[in-house]
């Protein structure tokens, strides 16, 4: 997750036409504390925990899936270990999954090149419709 934070501007076009939603099995208050401690600019999907993030217009969404529903729905849940794998889905403007990286290799620099290419393929080019 640190690489997302550190490469946000480049990978996600400073948030233009891109929304990053990180989903975790952790409880919302645990995620909020972790993000605050590690200086992650995330906006939490939980209204009660999002106030501090909204005030600073943080560009990310972070959602708690403590029941594992989303992970199970998208095939990320690993029942053997009771956790979700770090899968990554790029969803196009049409709402369809355009690219899947399962698992996402967060320590591999090549994975970020692949991710950047996938995002570039589904986002409007700068100046087009802005």
pTM above 0.85?
Answer: no
**Taking Cα atoms as reference points, which of 32, 30, 33 lies closest to residue 43?**
32
pLDDT in tens, the chain (130 residues): 667 667 777 777 776 777 777 777 877 778 777 777 877 665 555 544 445 445 545 556 677 788 888 889 988 888 899 888 888 888 888 888 999 999 889 889 899 899 999 999 998 776 555 4
Residue 50's pLDDT is what?
Answer: 47
Output the pLDDT for position 45.
56
Q: Are 2 and 103 in contact (CB under 8 A)?
A: no
Structure-block tokens of residue 57 = 């217009």
How confident is the model at residue 28, as a pLDDT?
A: 74
**What is the predicted pLDDT for the residue at 49?**
44
Task: Give pLDDT, residue 68.
Answer: 86
DSSP per-residue letters across 35-81: HHHTT--EEESSHHHHHHHHHTT-SEEEEE-TT-HHHHHTT-EETTT
Reading the block at residue 90, the tokens are 């790029």
């Amino acid at each position: 997750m640190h690489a997302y934070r550190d490469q946000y501007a480049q990978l996600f076009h400073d948030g233009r036409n891109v929304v990053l939603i990180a989903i975790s099995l952790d409880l919302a208050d645990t995620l909020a504390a972790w993000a605050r401690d590690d200086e992650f600019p995330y906006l939490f999907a939980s209204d009660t925990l999002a106030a501090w993030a909204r005030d600073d217009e943080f560009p990310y969404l972070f959602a708690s899936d403590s029941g594992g529903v989303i992970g199970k729905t998208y095939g990320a849940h690993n029942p053997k270990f009771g956790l979700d794998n770090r899968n990554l889905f790029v969803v196009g403007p049409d709402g369809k999954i355009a690219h899947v990286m399962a698992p996402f290799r967060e320590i591999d620099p090549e994975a970020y090149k692949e991710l950047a290419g996938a995002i570039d393929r589904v986002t409007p080019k700068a100046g087009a419709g802005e």
